Chains A and B, each alone.
Chain A
Amino acid sequence: MSQAVSDAPAGTKSVQAESGFKRFLRATEIDTRMLGMVGALLVIWIGFHILSGGTFLTPRNLWNLSVQTASVGVMATGMVLVIVTRNIDLSVGSILGVTGMVMAIVQTTWFTPMFGFNSPMVWIATIGVGLLCGLAIGGLQGFVIAYMGVPAFIVTLGGLLVWRGAAWWVASGRTIPITDDNFKIIGGGSDGSIGASWSWIIALVAIAFLAWSTFNARRQRHRFKFPVKPMWAEYLTFGVSALAVIVATFIVNSYLLPGPLARRYAEANGITMPEGGLEIAFGYAVPVLLFIGVGVVMTFIARRTRFGRYVFAIGGNPEAAELAGINTKRVTMMVFALMGMLAAIAAAISTARLTSATNAQGTLDELYTIAAAVIGGTSLAGGAGTIAGAMLGALVMQSLQSGMVLLGMDTPLQNIVVGAVLVVAVWLDTIYRRRAA
């Protein structure tokens, strides 16, 4: 990285510096696209912070941002695999709507009477039914796409209408309120956060996991005597990610329960209110932890399992995948089934957050989900995309929206901005790909 050429003519200096930066990127194996997205996110955040007169980068706003990102973010992780296999799913918003409605109904009409009010079985059974429902819907669409050969665009466009209609039909258009308090925790809200101590514990676990996976990757490469990353690069990437975890935890722990809620919390836990008020931190919201958990699992599926390998191979060359003996139809169907299940998880989050299932729930979410995946570097040509990128893409989309709300922009103007940003982001990505190729 060094070999500074002090006596080089001035003209070659920038060339030297650039190749040094490139070498730095290669040594650390940093994904430059991800780096660019993090940069874009910071620009957006700082821009809104300045424009809003210092209200964007506050613990409260960032905490809300994290919760609002969860639902679409969960679906975006699945959309990556769908798009990687050269398909699309336009029905996820409607699947979210119908599974949310089904969960609300089974909870209020079956499980609460069956197991008793606030029994832990209620939320477990509710989520079980919701997941099965999403799995079945996604699996059905996947079957029609993979085995009957109807293009995904058409099947899921049909699904967009069918499942929205079904959502109306199961509840005759009513709004169904959620009664189970345990279920509401999934949505965040005042009881849906884990508090300061647990947040730090989770942060420590996450850092330990990062250390372990760094060490493990290195050991694997040593096992076969492959070239390894330089030690400083390992420390740097680990250090930066650990720092990010600590900063995030610090932020969510700086968001304190407002006065009345803190008082209620104190009463519920038998704490006497001290003079100056009680300082109780929110910590990580449950939906955010769920979102991160889904992201970790989906990354594992995409990178470490046979299924994930096949998904990418199919996206790269469907014919080659078939000739290699992969059951491409089954894999395709499974991708859509998984997508349906993730839509059900997103439905649980958003239903619990709104504390009711409404008929319009999830409307247009398919577009935000697709946009998140695409902004996150998933190629519509198939074969390329990362889960982490899509998660970051979801955060970018939500940041834009929340920021514009904070600035008091009208909805039509918000739509114009989001639409334009999507096109520009993909355009930049196209340029990036052309140069990388």
Chain B
Amino acid sequence: MSTSMDTIADHGPAHHADTVDRSGPPLVEMKDISIAFGGIHAVDNASIDLYPGEVVALLGHNGAGKSTLIKILSGAYKRDSGEINVRGETATITNPRDAKKYGIETIYQTLALADNVDAAANLFLGREIMTPLGTLDDAAMEAEARKVMGRLNPNFRRFKEPVRALSGGQRQSVAIARAILFNAKILIMDEPTAALGPQETAQVADLIKELKKDEIGIFLISHDIHDVFDLSDRVVVMKNGQVVGSAKTSDVTKDEVLGMIILGKCPPGATPGPGAMRD
């Protein structure tokens, strides 16, 4: 839904139209979130939201607070202040189990895999398939693992080895597979393609588009501005723990977004946040 005439020329050819329905309540709303580690305000009064079928890209320099913000949503960190709403209702998320109950699945930047067990054990960690006798059904889990990994990384064969023995990209595929295996409603992807080859990256891009169609909301953290413009409906930029601003991806140019990231300068097409540079 490009509105202003002058931005059209700047758009890359790959750009898509904004089809997200924002009339209902947001899927997720994080309001005035703050957290400090010792003296460092890692996240400072940040507010973001996400609608069904929407991809919101979260951008910012290293240490801007992106991972910390989404880790509060995934239950890994307890916020100092602020509130989280899921589908318009206050959500209590104090640990990862709570978040999963709301259908929030996360691909962590660190992948968060148990290196000493195999891919199937990692995919089902915390949600194992059991036999009727109450024992682990490893064969069934391996079968599911083969299915989902076949979708993401068809060349993957090493189902019997501990994930420590896998390559960085293979490990990342395992982490992605784990997040999509359990019918996520809200998906957090913290640099999901950082270690992937071109083919696997393309597969993740296809996956994101597919998940969008299923009305899943996705927070995508990425340093790859081309990927961001390819995949996201909105961008949110953070700097030093604060939100610089947010914009529909179609309303801003790549250069403007880079300006937001590096200088904290909010362009006219964006809604400024508390972290925007004042002039």
- Taking beta carbons and an 8 Å cutoff, which residues of A are in contact with B? 220-221, 223-224, 226, 300, 303-306, 309-310, 312-317, 319-327, 383-384, 437
Contact = CB atoms under 8 A, between A and B. Distances in A.
23 contacts: A220-B138, A220-B139, A224-B143, A304-B135, A304-B136, A305-B134, A309-B117, A312-B117, A313-B114, A313-B116, A314-B114, A316-B114, A316-B117, A317-B112, A317-B116, A320-B112, A321-B126, A322-B76, A322-B95, A324-B125, A325-B100, A327-B97, A384-B116
Interface of B: 74, 76, 95-97, 100, 106, 108, 110-117, 121, 125-128, 130, 134-136, 138-140, 142-143, 162, 164
Contacts of B136: 303-306, 309
Contact of B114 (A221, A303, A320): A320
Contacts of A305: 134-136
Contacts of B135: 300, 304-305
Contacts of A315: 116
A309 B130 CA distance: 12
Contacts of A220: 138-139
B115 A323 contact: no
A18 to B, nearest CB: 21
Contacts of B116: 312-313, 315-317, 383-384
Given A320-B113, A324-B112, A309 B128 contact: yes
Given A226-B139, A306-B136, 12 more contacts: A220-B138, A224-B139, A226-B143, A312-B117, A313-B114, A317-B114, A320-B112, A323-B106, A323-B112, A325-B127, A383-B115, A437-B164
B73 to A, nearest CB: 13
B128 A324 contact: no
B64 to A, nearest CB: 21
Contact of A324 (B96, B139, B140): B96
Contact of A224 (B96, B115, B140, B164): B140
Contacts of A223: 139
B128 A306 contact: yes
A327 B126 CA distance: 9
Most chain B Cβ neighbours within 10 Å, of A305, A320, A384, A437: A320
A120 B78 CA distance: 55
A321 B121 CA distance: 11
- Top 7 closest pairs, chain A to chain B, by CB: A316-B116, A316-B114, A383-B116, A320-B112, A325-B126, A313-B114, A324-B126
A321 B126 CA distance: 8
A322 B74 CA distance: 12
B121 A313 contact: yes
Contacts of B138: 220
A387 to B, nearest CB: 16
Contact of A316 (B100, B115, B143): B115
Given A224-B139, A306-B130, A323 B114 contact: no
A313 B114 CA distance: 5
B112 A319 contact: yes
A293 to B, nearest CB: 18
A437 B165 CA distance: 8
Contacts of B140: 224
Nearest to A217: B139
Nearest to B163: A316
Most chain A Cβ neighbours within 10 Å, of B125, B128, B142, B164: B125
Nearest to A326: B126
Contacts of A437: 164
B190 to A, nearest CB: 12
A322 B136 CA distance: 20
A327 B113 CA distance: 16
Contacts of A221: 139
Contact of A312 (B96, B113, B114, B134): B114
B230 to A, nearest CB: 28
